[in-house]
């Protein structure tokens, strides 16, 4: 079976993209397809390189049975454009930044287009409260589930509270 490589990208790689990485990885694991995917996340900026995800992202993921505390922020590297078949930007600003630094053959798409089919940006919850992180989690879970299905994989069944929406 061929492996599919996906990179989720936001601005600092501490809020949205690590959540997307962990949610998608969780869905893939639950579907028994771990060997079929390479999944990672990165930021367009390097402000948080080496740092763990934002504590509010960690808490939100934990409430849904997903542990992201071990992830570390990193900035996107030129090699990523060749290493990942699909690069998903969380919003139009990051999409534009990626478009300026990527080679023309890179497959960069807006998460809201590729995963949700709505064209929406996934809002940056960094300057808000817990409700913003919960909203982001919900949108990412919906999109990641749809993305897994769109990639020709039978929809992953979410057990436990992972699929819960508050």
Active-site position among 10, 15, 144, 158? 10
Determine the Cα–Cα distance for residues 9 and 159; give it in Å rounded to an integer: 26
Enclosing H/E stretch for 18: helix 16-30
Q: Tell me if residue 93 is catalytic.
A: no
Q: Distance between CA atoms of 45 and 48, rounded to whole angstroms?
A: 8
CA 137/CA 131 separation, integer angstroms = 10
Annotation marks residue 16 as catalytic: yes
Q: Which is the catalytic residue, given 80, 91, 121, 124?
A: 124
Report the C-alpha gap between 141 and 56 in whole angstroms: 17
| Residue 10 designated active-site | yes
Tokens 């798409």 found at = 109
Could you say which of 16, 25, 74, 139 is catalytic? 16
Catalytic machinery residues? 10, 16, 124
């Amino acid at each position: 079976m061929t492996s599919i490589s996906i990179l989720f990208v936001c601005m600092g790689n501490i809020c949205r993209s690590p959540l997307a990485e962990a949610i998608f990885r969780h869905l893939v694991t639950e579907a028994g397809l771990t060997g079929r995917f390479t999944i990672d996340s990165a930021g367009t900026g390097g402000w948080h390189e080496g740092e763990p995800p934002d504590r509010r992202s960690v808490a939100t993921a934990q409430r849904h049975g997903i542990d992201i505390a071990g992830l570390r922020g990193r900035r996107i590297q030129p090699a990523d454009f060749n290493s990942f078949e699909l690069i998903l930007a969380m919003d139009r600003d990051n999409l534009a930044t990626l478009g300026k630094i990527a080679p023309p053959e890179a497959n960069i798409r807006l998460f809201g287009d590729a995963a949700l089919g709505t064209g929406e940006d996934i809002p940056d919850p960094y300057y808000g409260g817990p409700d913003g992180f919960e909203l982001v989690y919900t949108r990412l879970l919906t999109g990641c589930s749809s993305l897994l299905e769109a990639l020709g994989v039978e929809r992953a069944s979410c057990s436990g509270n992972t699929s819960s929406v508050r």
